[in-house]
Amino acid sequence: MPPRDDHESGMKPFTRKATVIWLGTHQRGKGAITTPSGVLKKTSYGFGPHLKPGRSTNPPELIAAAHAGSFSMALAYELGHAGYSPAQIDTTATVTMEEVAAGWTMTQIHLDVIATVPTAAEGDFIDAALRAKSSCPISRLLGANISMCAKLTRHAAPAGASPQPSAGSFQASVKSKQKGKARMSLNIRP
The domain ranges of the chain are 1-57, 58-188
For position 126, what pLDDT does the model report?
Answer: 95
Q: What's phi and psi for 13, nearest 5 deg?
A: -55, 145
**71 has a pLDDT exceeding 80:** yes
- Phi-psi map region of 154: left, alpha, beta (phi>0 left; psi -120 to 50 alpha): alpha
More confident residue, 97 or 172: 97
Interval 10-67: pLDDT, tens:
789 988 899 999 998 887 888 999 999 999 899 998 877 666 677 788 889 999 999 9
Over residues 108-127, the mean pLDDT reads 95
Number of H helices, E strands in the chain: 3, 8
Whole-prediction pTM: 0.76
pLDDT at 3 (0 to 100):
46
Cα distance between residue 67 and residue 147, in whole Å: 12
pLDDT of residue 55: 78
1 vs 172 pLDDT, higher one: 172
Give the strand pairing for 145-153 and 170-176.
antiparallel
Q: Is residue 118 pLDDT above 70, yes or no?
A: yes
Question: Which CATH class name applies to 58-188?
Answer: alpha beta
% of the chain residues with pLDDT over 70: 74
Average pLDDT score, the chain? 80
Is the pLDDT reported for residue 5 higher than 80? Answer: no
What is the C-alpha separation between 185 and 25, in angstroms, rounded? 43
Highest mean pLDDT among 16-25, 96-105, 119-128: 119-128
